[in-house]
Structure 1
Amino acid sequence: MSSHAKRQEPGEVPARLAAHLDAYAEYLSLERGRSEHTVRAYLADARSLLAHLAAASPDADLEDIDLRALRSWLSAQASAGVARTTLARRTAAARTFTAWLTRTRRIPRDPGVRLVAPKAHRTLPAVLRQGQAAEAMQAAESGAAQLEPIAVRDRLIVELLYASGIRVGELCGLDLDDVDLERRVLRVLGKGNKQRSVPFGAPAAAAVDAWLTSGRPALVNERSGRALLLGRRGGRIDQRQARSVVHEVLEAVPGAPSLGPHGLRHSAATHLLEGGADLRVVQELLGHSSLATTQLYTHVSVARLRAVHDQAHPRA
């Protein structure tokens, strides 16, 4: 390190390194088709790595990103108490970044191919029991009985999330044309801009019909566009609002765990498997790229079966 080098502030990325991030963002968005949320996360990880590199050596350049630097970056985060699941995700992000640096000839070789992610401890997600899910849907339906537009919308939110198992971002992104009420099918744009069709049942269809008949028309205005779900001011509902709705509905169910929209997704997947659905069918419904992700729900079902067995069997 030169004696006249500027002292690097923690978290600061020198302009010569930060200059590459715009091109990386464009690659993630246009070539890889990553969502806006994923692009932000990957950029944040790349920026963190570059800041760590510069803090260790202010004169460092991209070619100084080697396996030792990558491991040092992850080690610093582990020492700061970052969860193993987060470290595993950031390892994948680092490998994506170094692969791009290599492919665009910004560095001569890819050190990320030898970077091993710490094994994440996968915890079983909390889910509703089937009776609790039924109570939650009844609570939402009772609230909508007075035909107040927001209550009618809130019923539709919980019904569709549980009926279809879609992600909250997918729900909020639905347009009117994405709902085939006659066939009871949603057209969903998922991760990586992958489109899939997801069926829903008669109760959710009734909630859709009520919303289109007596809910949405009361809120629609010039801001609404083709959005299916609207906020009080007529614009497309955002994920934060949808999460608040789910939490409020589940608070009315005695003994139910505190869950958000993803908890309803977990519950839908678990109840499908408990009802005998094929694992690969559930994978397709949820939009999982890997069957291993869907298999987590088989562990949830087995764990619940074991709990019942331990409680009920005389020789458990």
Structure 2
Amino acid sequence: MLEKLFNYPAVLARHRKAPLFDERNSYLAYRADDGCAHETLLRIARELLQVVQILNIPSTSNVTPEHIRTGADRWARQQCRRGRVHTLKWSRKLFIQVATEWLRFLGRLEEVVIEPPLFAGLIEDFTKWMESERGLSLITIRNYCWHVKKFLHWCEDHNRSVSTVEILDVDTFLASCGDKGWSRVSVATTAKALKAFFRYAAQRGWCLPAIAPAIQGPRLFSQEILPSGPTWKDVNRLIDNVATDRPQDIRDRAIILLFAIYALRSSEVASLSLEDIDWENNRISVFRPKQRRTQTYPLTPIVGNAIIRYLRSVRPQNCRREIFLTLKAPIKPLSVSGLYNVVSRCMANVGLHPIHRGPHALRHACAMHLVTEGLSLKEIGDHLGHRSTSATRIYAKVNLPELRLVADVDLGGLS
């Protein structure tokens, strides 16, 4: 691989004479297969040369992170003395990053084994119960576990165990979440997760049975959880803004159209695979994790054309089956957080700053657009993939024109 990167014989000879040539060469080949650009490979190769010379890596034993940090400090100081950099920060950071990833690839990094927390077994049992007994979706289970772990870490910091927790401890924790700037809805979600956990813990005899019924989150008012999103006019402006020939915009336009037209959730777009699109019959299949079933939609021309353009001209050549990938190495599927960043960035580019800036804002915008178009709540719920009409009913509150008509009805003098 190094022969492909360096043309000058003297430079190539310097790399060949340095220690661990085969190990460096195989790592560069691995990064090339992973989709790294030529310039990136050059930067890694040059940095690896400094890594092996400064660390003086033994032929057999592993290398500790402390050894890497010491070498990074030495290298950064050398760069400053030579006038190549003005601060230690970036030279040190690049040295540590390249050395760590290379040694981990070789299996020669002596990483510190982090012991699982004492409550790991409790979380595992709680997860199985939510999945098998309550039939909750994987997303809900993950969210509940996240909130419960936050509380159990807090308990460890305050020398509390599940068996000794009192309702005052739960109230103190919820209050601390509010003090950190959590919204009332977030605190209420935490309270709901803790109530479920302590209900299960009481069944197992881990805690006092009176804790779960006593947990109360902050009161949520009816207008507090109304869905919010950009207007449909703003959504069209958002779509038009990414109608360019830039590779990033070509990909992002296909993503935004899926969120806006089909009101998909982030996890649903992230998991879309090439096999989910039936080009012959113009259909797209989406796995709904909450319903635990696949829902099929007609593939509209605007969405189909956007995806085709992305697949043909932008999507990196890769064996992954997920549709949406990163455009720079390492090439991997876009995560849920990555999709949030895509939508949030595109909204900011057109001056949109709603309360919620991620994909869920486009889901709400789609739902409100369907309401104004006159579709029934049942039809809207089917489109959104809701399991019950109660989840869709909230969108009736935001149809202000229809509510004004109701307010104008003559009740014949009744008061």
TM-score computed with the length of structure 2 as normaliser: 0.57
Question: What is the CA–CA distance in structure 2 between the aligned matches of 1:161 and 1:261, rounded to whole Å?
Answer: 6
Tell me how far apart the structure 1 counterparts of residues 151 and 194 of structure 2 sit (CA, whole Å).
8
**Worse overlay, 153-162 or 256-265:** 256-265
Question: Could you tell me how far apart the structure 2 residues matched to 1:43 and 1:245 are?
Answer: 26
Aligned to 1:281: 379
Q: Which has the larger radius of gyration?
A: 2
For residues 276 and 76 of structure 1, do their structure 2 counterparts lie closer, same or farther at Cα, with a shift above 3 Å needed?
A: same
Unaligned runs of 5+ in 1: 1-14, 307-316
1:113 corresponds in structure 2 to 213
Name the counterpart of 2:63. Answer: none
| Structure 2 residue 240 is matched with structure 1 residue 138 | yes
Residue 227 in structure 1 maps to residue 227 in structure 2: no
Q: What is the CA–CA distance in structure 2 between the aligned matches of 1:250 and 1:87, rounded to whole Å?
A: 27
- Aligned match for 2:305, one of 197, 206, 218: 206
**For the residues of structure 1 that align with 2:227 and 2:204, how far apart are their CA atoms?**
40
Structure 2 equivalent of residue 310 of structure 1: none
SS at match of 1:20: helix
Report the counterpart of residue 28 of structure 2 in structure 1: none
Match of 2:288 in 1: 190
Q: How far apart, CA to CA, are the structure 1 residues paired with 2:178 and 2:394?
A: 25
Where does residue 50 of structure 2 map in the other structure? none
Structure 2 SS opposite 1:186: strand
Q: Report the AA paired with residue 242 of structure 1.
A: L
Q: Does 1:243 align with 2:305?
A: no
Q: What is the CA-CA distance between 1:94 and the residue it aligns to? A: 0.9
- In structure 2, the gaps of 5 or more residues are 1-116, 405-415
CA drift of 1:236 comes to: 1.1
Evaluate the alpha carbon distance shift between residue 101 and residue 241 of structure 1 in structure 2; reply closer, same or farther with a 3 A threshold: closer
Pick from 230, 252, 265 the counterpart of residue 363 of structure 2.
265
Deviation at 1:171? 0.7
The amino acid that maps onto 1:189 is F
Instruction: Return the match for 1:298 from 376, 381, 396.
Output: 396
Question: Which of residues 135, 153, 159 is equivalent to 2:251?
Answer: 153
CA contact (8 A) 1:185 1:197 kept: no
Distance in 2 between residues matched to 1:257 and 1:108, nearest whole Å: 46
1:45 matched residue in structure 2:
147
Corresponding pairs, count: 281
The offset of 1:97, in angstroms, is 0.6
Please report the RMSD computed on the Cα atoms of aligned residues, expressed in angstroms: 3.4
Contact 2:137 2:292 in 1 (8 A): no
CA distance in 2, matches of 1:242, 1:106: 39
Once the two structures are overlaid, the 10-residue window that deviates more, 130-139 or 42-51, is 42-51
1:77-124 per-position Cα deviation (integer Å, ceiling 9, x unaligned): 446654321221011111111122133333463531343433224244
TM-score by length of 1: 0.73
Offset, 1:27: 4.1
Structure 2: how far apart are the matches of 1:81 and 1:132? 29
Does residue 23 of structure 1 match 2:125?
yes
In the TM superposition, 1:46-125 aligns within 5 A as: 46-50=148-152, 58=159, 61-78=161-178, 82-107=182-207, 109=209, 111-121=211-221, 122-125=224-227
Q: Which has the higher contact order (CA 8 A, sep 6+)?
A: 1
Using the TM superposition, give the Cα deviation of residue 201 of structure 1 relative to its aligned residue in structure 2, in angstroms: 2.6
Q: 1:62 to 1:94 in 2, by over 3 A?
A: same
